[in-house]
Structure 1
Protein backbone atom coordinates (compact mmCIF):
# COMPACT_ATOMS: atom_id res chain seq x y z
CA UNK A 1 0.00 0.00 0.00
CA UNK A 2 3.01 2.33 -0.17
CA UNK A 3 1.79 3.73 -3.50
CA UNK A 4 -1.06 5.43 -1.62
CA UNK A 5 1.28 7.21 0.81
CA UNK A 6 1.57 10.30 -1.39
CA UNK A 7 -2.20 10.36 -1.88
CA UNK A 8 -2.86 10.18 1.87
CA UNK A 9 -0.34 12.95 2.54
CA UNK A 10 -1.62 15.20 -0.23
CA UNK A 11 -4.06 18.09 -0.01
CA UNK A 12 -6.23 16.55 -2.71
CA UNK A 13 -10.00 16.60 -2.24
CA UNK A 14 -11.54 13.31 -1.16
CA UNK A 15 -13.13 12.88 -4.60
CA UNK A 16 -9.68 12.83 -6.22
CA UNK A 17 -8.32 10.37 -3.67
CA UNK A 18 -11.28 8.07 -4.23
CA UNK A 19 -10.98 8.16 -8.02
CA UNK A 20 -7.20 7.65 -7.87
CA UNK A 21 -7.63 4.53 -5.71
CA UNK A 22 -10.33 3.25 -8.06
CA UNK A 23 -8.10 3.71 -11.11
CA UNK A 24 -5.08 2.21 -9.33
CA UNK A 25 -7.14 -0.86 -8.43
CA UNK A 26 -8.09 -1.34 -12.10
CA UNK A 27 -4.74 -0.51 -13.69
CA UNK A 28 -2.39 -2.95 -15.39
CA UNK A 29 1.37 -3.37 -14.90
CA UNK A 30 1.97 -0.18 -16.87
CA UNK A 31 -0.37 1.72 -14.50
CA UNK A 32 -2.89 2.19 -17.30
CA UNK A 33 -6.62 1.58 -17.45
CA UNK A 34 -9.53 2.83 -19.53
CA UNK A 35 -12.86 2.79 -17.71
CA UNK A 36 -15.42 5.28 -18.94
CA UNK A 37 -16.41 8.28 -16.85
CA UNK A 38 -19.88 6.75 -16.55
CA UNK A 39 -18.48 3.45 -15.28
CA UNK A 40 -16.32 5.19 -12.67
CA UNK A 41 -19.26 7.35 -11.57
CA UNK A 42 -21.62 4.40 -11.35
CA UNK A 43 -19.28 2.15 -9.41
CA UNK A 44 -18.24 4.89 -6.97
CA UNK A 45 -21.78 6.31 -6.71
CA UNK A 46 -20.58 9.77 -7.73
CA UNK A 47 -21.90 12.09 -10.40
CA UNK A 48 -20.15 12.21 -13.75
CA UNK A 49 -19.22 15.84 -13.08
CA UNK A 50 -17.63 14.95 -9.73
CA UNK A 51 -15.53 12.28 -11.46
CA UNK A 52 -14.49 14.80 -14.13
CA UNK A 53 -13.44 17.27 -11.42
CA UNK A 54 -11.49 14.54 -9.61
CA UNK A 55 -9.64 13.64 -12.81
CA UNK A 56 -8.80 17.31 -13.36
CA UNK A 57 -7.52 17.52 -9.76
CA UNK A 58 -5.29 14.50 -10.35
CA UNK A 59 -3.98 15.92 -13.64
CA UNK A 60 -3.13 19.23 -11.96
CA UNK A 61 -1.32 17.36 -9.17
CA UNK A 62 0.72 15.46 -11.76
CA UNK A 63 -0.64 12.09 -10.65
CA UNK A 64 -2.54 11.23 -13.81
CA UNK A 65 -2.51 11.75 -17.55
CA UNK A 66 -5.43 11.05 -19.83
CA UNK A 67 -5.46 10.39 -23.54
CA UNK A 68 -8.45 10.10 -25.84
CA UNK A 69 -8.67 6.72 -27.54
CA UNK A 70 -10.21 6.34 -31.00
CA UNK A 71 -12.04 3.55 -32.79
CA UNK A 72 -10.98 2.34 -36.24
CA UNK A 73 -13.95 4.13 -37.80
CA UNK A 74 -12.80 7.46 -36.32
CA UNK A 75 -15.27 7.53 -33.45
CA UNK A 76 -14.25 8.36 -29.92
CA UNK A 77 -13.66 5.56 -27.44
CA UNK A 78 -12.97 5.74 -23.72
CA UNK A 79 -10.06 7.66 -22.22
CA UNK A 80 -6.76 5.97 -21.44
CA UNK A 81 -5.63 6.88 -17.92
CA UNK A 82 -1.98 6.55 -16.94
CA UNK A 83 -1.22 6.88 -13.23
CA UNK A 84 1.96 8.50 -11.98
CA UNK A 85 3.37 8.06 -8.51
Structure 2
Protein backbone atom coordinates (compact mmCIF):
# COMPACT_ATOMS: atom_id res chain seq x y z
CA UNK A 1 0.00 0.00 0.00
CA UNK A 2 1.33 3.45 -0.90
CA UNK A 3 2.25 6.03 1.71
CA UNK A 4 -0.76 8.28 1.03
CA UNK A 5 -3.36 5.61 0.15
CA UNK A 6 -5.36 6.01 3.37
CA UNK A 7 -5.03 9.78 3.20
CA UNK A 8 -6.54 9.78 -0.30
CA UNK A 9 -9.47 7.62 0.81
CA UNK A 10 -10.08 9.58 4.03
CA UNK A 11 -12.92 12.01 4.61
CA UNK A 12 -10.46 14.87 5.04
CA UNK A 13 -11.06 18.00 2.95
CA UNK A 14 -8.62 18.62 0.10
CA UNK A 15 -7.04 21.54 2.01
CA UNK A 16 -5.98 19.13 4.78
CA UNK A 17 -4.63 16.60 2.32
CA UNK A 18 -2.57 19.30 0.59
CA UNK A 19 -1.15 20.62 3.85
CA UNK A 20 -0.34 17.09 5.08
CA UNK A 21 1.56 16.34 1.86
CA UNK A 22 3.39 19.68 2.12
CA UNK A 23 4.41 18.96 5.72
CA UNK A 24 5.38 15.41 4.82
CA UNK A 25 7.63 16.73 2.07
CA UNK A 26 9.27 19.17 4.51
CA UNK A 27 9.68 16.76 7.43
CA UNK A 28 12.73 14.74 8.31
CA UNK A 29 13.00 11.06 9.13
CA UNK A 30 11.42 11.72 12.53
CA UNK A 31 8.31 13.13 10.84
CA UNK A 32 8.68 16.60 12.31
CA UNK A 33 9.03 20.04 10.78
CA UNK A 34 8.33 23.65 11.70
CA UNK A 35 7.35 25.84 8.74
CA UNK A 36 5.45 29.05 9.53
CA UNK A 37 1.75 29.29 8.65
CA UNK A 38 2.59 32.14 6.27
CA UNK A 39 5.20 30.03 4.49
CA UNK A 40 2.80 27.12 4.05
CA UNK A 41 0.10 29.47 2.78
CA UNK A 42 2.41 31.22 0.33
CA UNK A 43 3.92 28.04 -1.09
CA UNK A 44 0.56 26.25 -1.44
CA UNK A 45 -1.18 29.42 -2.67
CA UNK A 46 -3.78 29.16 0.11
CA UNK A 47 -4.93 31.74 2.63
CA UNK A 48 -3.53 31.68 6.16
CA UNK A 49 -7.04 30.91 7.45
CA UNK A 50 -7.35 27.92 5.12
CA UNK A 51 -4.01 26.56 6.32
CA UNK A 52 -5.08 26.98 9.96
CA UNK A 53 -8.34 25.13 9.25
CA UNK A 54 -6.42 22.36 7.49
CA UNK A 55 -4.07 21.97 10.45
CA UNK A 56 -7.07 21.78 12.80
CA UNK A 57 -8.61 19.10 10.54
CA UNK A 58 -5.39 17.09 10.64
CA UNK A 59 -5.07 17.38 14.42
CA UNK A 60 -8.69 16.35 14.98
CA UNK A 61 -8.31 13.31 12.71
CA UNK A 62 -5.04 12.22 14.36
CA UNK A 63 -2.76 12.78 11.37
CA UNK A 64 -0.83 15.59 13.06
CA UNK A 65 0.28 16.82 16.47
CA UNK A 66 1.13 20.50 16.89
CA UNK A 67 3.41 21.98 19.56
CA UNK A 68 4.01 25.70 20.16
CA UNK A 69 7.67 26.73 20.03
CA UNK A 70 9.06 29.73 21.90
CA UNK A 71 11.92 32.16 21.30
CA UNK A 72 14.55 32.86 23.97
CA UNK A 73 12.92 36.25 24.70
CA UNK A 74 9.59 34.54 25.46
CA UNK A 75 7.90 35.34 22.15
CA UNK A 76 6.09 32.79 20.04
CA UNK A 77 7.92 31.10 17.19
CA UNK A 78 6.58 28.78 14.51
CA UNK A 79 4.83 25.58 15.57
CA UNK A 80 6.53 22.20 15.56
CA UNK A 81 4.47 19.66 13.63
CA UNK A 82 4.72 15.93 14.26
CA UNK A 83 3.25 13.83 11.44
CA UNK A 84 1.67 10.44 11.85
CA UNK A 85 1.66 8.12 8.87
CA UNK A 86 -1.94 7.80 7.71
CA UNK A 87 -1.64 4.01 7.74
CA UNK A 88 -0.15 3.82 11.27
CA UNK A 89 -3.34 4.09 13.22
* TM bin (shorter chain): over 0.9
- Hey, what's the Cα distance between the residues in 2 that align with 1:26 and 1:3? 15
* Ranges of 4+ aligned residues in structure 1 off by more than 2 Å: none
TM-score by length of 2: 0.92
TM-score by length of 1: 0.96
Q: Cα distance, 1:57 vs. partner?
A: 0.4
Unaligned runs of 5+ in 1: none
Q: Which has the higher strand share?
A: 1
- Hey, what's the Cα distance between the residues in 2 that align with 1:3 and 1:24? 10
Aligned to 1:37: 37
CA displacement 1:1-51 (0-9 Å, x = unmatched): 822111111010000000000000000110000000000000000000000
1:1-85 to structure 2, matched below 5 A, reads 2-85=2-85
- Hey, what's the Cα distance between the residues in 2 that align with 1:6 and 1:64? 14
How many residue pairs match? The answer is 85
Equivalent position SS for 1:3: coil
Unaligned runs of 5+ in 2: none
